[in-house]
Amino acid sequence: MARSKTKFHFFAFLARMKYITRWGLMRNTQPENIQEHSLQVAMVAHALALIKNRFYGGDISADRVAVLAMFHDCNEIITGDLPTPIKYFNPEISTAYKAVERVSRDKLVSMLPDELKADYASILFHEEQGGDCWRLVKAADRISAYIKCIEEVKAGNGEFKKASISVLKSITEIDMPEVKYFMEKFLPSFSLTLDELE
C-alpha cells in the first residue's frame, strides 16, 4: 500500500500546549501552562481510578482515565484558556464557549490521518459521553486547581486565597469516596516544605 505524502499537524499543535498559560486574570508566582496542568491532572485522575478500583469496588481503566486527562484541555491550543469567572458568567456565554470548544476539537481531529481520526475523537469528545471516566477527570481537574492554589498561597501570594476557598468547596461537594480519600491522604503533603517531605 502506497503511503500518502500528506503531512499532519496534530502533534505539532499539541506541542503548543506549553504556550497556553492558565489563571490569566491572576498574578502568579509561578506561571502554569496547560501542558504541565494536563500532566498533573492525568496523574491525579489515574490515582483516583486506582483508588476507586482498589478500595471502593470500581472497575475502571486507570489508563483510559489518564489518557482522557492528558487531552482534556488540548482544545485550548486554539481557544486559549478562558478564565472560569468569564466562562461561567452566564448560561449564554457557557453555551457559546462549549460550541467553540467543539469546533476547536473538530479542528484538531481534522489534523490527523483518516485512519486515526476515530481513535482521537473518542478521546477528545469523551466529555460529551460523560460516564465515570470523565467524572474522575473533572474531579482531578479541580484537585489540580486546588494544588495550584495551595502552592501560590504557600509562596505568599494572597491573590489565590479566595480561589483556594472556592475550589476546595467545589471539591467537598463531589460525592465520590475516591476523591475524599485522595484529599485526606495525599493533599496535606502539598502544604509541606521539601525538608518536611523527607
For the chain, the structural domain boundaries read 30-184
In three-state secondary structure terms, 33 is strand
At position 102, the amino acid (one-letter code) is R
Angle at 67 between CA 114 and CA 48, to 5 degrees: 155
pTM to 2 decimal places = 0.90
Q: What is the residue-level pLDDT of the chain in tens, covering all 198 positions? A: 456 678 999 999 999 999 999 988 889 999 999 999 999 999 999 999 999 999 999 999 999 999 999 999 998 888 877 666 666 667 777 777 678 888 889 999 999 999 999 999 999 997 766 689 999 999 999 999 999 999 999 999 999 999 999 999 999 999 999 999 999 999 999 999 899 998
What is the structure's pLDDT at 102? Answer: 85
CB atoms closer than 10 angstroms to residue 171 = 19
What is the structure's pLDDT at 126? Answer: 78
Condensed to tens digits (0 to 9), the pLDDT of residues 149-179 reads 999 999 999 999 999 999 999 999 999 999 9
Report residue 121 as a C-alpha cell.
Answer: 475523537
Category of 51 on φ-ψ map: left (φ > 0), alpha (ψ -120 to 50) or beta = alpha
- Reported as type and span, the H/E element at residue 182 is helix 177-185
In three-state secondary structure terms, 162 is helix
Report residue 172 as a C-alpha cell.
Answer: 467537598
Report residue 11 as a C-alpha cell.
Answer: 502533534
How many residues are recorded in the chain? 198
Reported as half-sphere exposure (CB side, CA atoms, 13 A), residue 161 has a value of 4
CATH of 30-184, one of 1.10.3720.10, 1.10.287.3510, 1.10.3210.10, 2.60.20.30: 1.10.3210.10
Angle at 98 between CA 177 and CA 179, to 5 degrees: 10
At position 20, the amino acid (one-letter code) is I
Report residue 75 as a C-alpha cell.
Answer: 482544545
- As a whole number of angstroms, the distance between CA 84 and CA 162 comes to 14
Reported as half-sphere exposure (CB side, CA atoms, 13 A), residue 29 has a value of 13
H-assigned helices in 81-130? 84-87, 91-109, 114-124, 126-129
